[in-house]
Amino acid sequence: MIVKTRKINKATIFFILMINLVLFLYFQNNMITTREITIQSYKLPQVFENYKIVHLTDLHGKSFGKEQKTLVKKIKKAQPDLIVFTGDLVDSRRYNEEHSIKLIKEITEIAPVYYVTGNHEWRSGRFETLEKTLVNSGVKVLRNTSDKIEKQQDEIYIIGIDDPVSYYTINTEKNTVENALDISTKGIPSDGSFKILLAHRPELFDLYSQYNIDLVFSGHAHGGQIRLPFIGGLVAPHQGFLPKYTSGKYMEGNSIMIVNRGLGNSIFPQRLFNRPEIIVVRLIN
């Protein structure tokens, strides 16, 4: 009888541990964090003081709650003046636009939305129709172009470049991005205008900084997928093991880059110590 009780106890303990493990893994993949970052720049016009930008990236078609209600609620709570999305809205391996488009339609009701492509949009082979849907939903798709955001009598500039995977057969990645930056920054005043760049890949930050960009928003690294204390992210696309740019704020010269850990997953389905996030950037003078 004693032996039987011990067996039951071991089975109960194992069952409890397994339930806790499943809950932990679910929590890591689905409980969104909101990170707030303040960026100060003397180049920012006074009328843009406390201007708030919500940064989203790498959704990969994932849904957070029915009809994206959980994610939308967090974005609304931030009360953004602008929303930027830095690519991989969809996933090329399991392409399904439904959850992605639902999110887009909801957030365009909150604030103006600017978007640039990631590598998955191009690899899916369906970006042409996706782009039309985004534009029809009110999204400003930046494809090696720029736009002027005006407030009263002042303005700041926002630049967006295509992910270079779409041009691999023509040029190397760095040359492609350099050409895209040359095209998209043409016509922007070379004076003290505040400039924002949306670019999917963070590993080219040294190149972005050469164009006197004040603030870069990027994604792609998925936070390193698995994060460890004192080490950070373990692996990221196009950066390999122990990547340099995976999460948070980086500086190069006079440029600042914000790397968002992203919302969804692609090849590897599980995040560890690396919960999905939205970033809220507040600009001050």
pLDDT tens sequence across 39-89: 999 999 999 999 999 999 999 999 999 999 999 999 999 999 999 999 999
Asked if residue 245 lies in contact with residue 218, where contact means CB atoms within 8 angstroms, the answer is yes
Looking at residue 1, its pLDDT comes to 47
Whether residues 15 and 103 share a domain: the answer is: no
- The share of the chain scoring above pLDDT 90, in percent, equals 88
Of how many residues is the chain composed?
Answer: 285
Whether residues 11 and 37 share a domain: the answer is: no
What is the chain's Cα-based Rg? 21
Task: Tell me how many domains the chain contains.
Answer: 2
Looking at residue 51, its pLDDT comes to 98
What pLDDT digit, counting tens, does each position of 140-196 carry? 999 999 999 999 989 999 999 999 987 766 668 889 999 999 999 998 987 789 999
Whether residues 23 and 117 share a domain: the answer is: no
Whether residues 39 and 20 share a domain: the answer is: no
Whether residues 15 and 106 share a domain: the answer is: no
Distance CA 49, CA 35 (A): 19
The answer on pLDDT for 198 being more than 60 is yes
Looking at residue 5, its pLDDT comes to 54
Distance CA 33, CA 23 (A): 17
Asked if residue 227 lies in contact with residue 234, where contact means CB atoms within 8 angstroms, the answer is yes
Residue 222 tokens, joined: 């998925």
Q: Residue 195: give its domain's CATH number.
A: 3.60.21.10
pLDDT band at 4 (very low <50, low <70, confident <90, very high): low
Distance CA 123, CA 92 (A): 6
What pLDDT digit, counting tens, does each position of 118-140 carry? 999 999 999 999 999 999 999 99
Largest CA distance in the chain: 85
Distance CA 141, CA 121 (A): 13
Phi, psi of 177 (to 5 degrees): -65, -40
pLDDT band at 201 (very low <50, low <70, confident <90, very high): very high
Whether residues 127 and 225 share a domain: the answer is: yes
Which helix (H) or strand (E) segment holds residue 65: the answer is: none
Whether residues 12 and 89 share a domain: the answer is: no
Whether residues 19 and 110 share a domain: the answer is: no
The answer on pLDDT for 23 being more than 80 is yes
CA distance from start to end of the chain: 74
Whether residues 60 and 195 share a domain: the answer is: yes
Which helix (H) or strand (E) segment holds residue 66: the answer is: none
Burial class (CB in 10 A: 0-12, 13-18, 19+), 124: middle
Whether residues 263 and 146 share a domain: the answer is: yes
Domain extent, residue 65, equals 33-284
Whether residues 159 and 62 share a domain: the answer is: yes
CB atoms within 10 A of CB 64: 21
Residue 171 tokens, joined: 């040029």
Whether residues 24 and 107 share a domain: the answer is: no
Q: What average pLDDT does the segment 19-23 reach?
A: 95
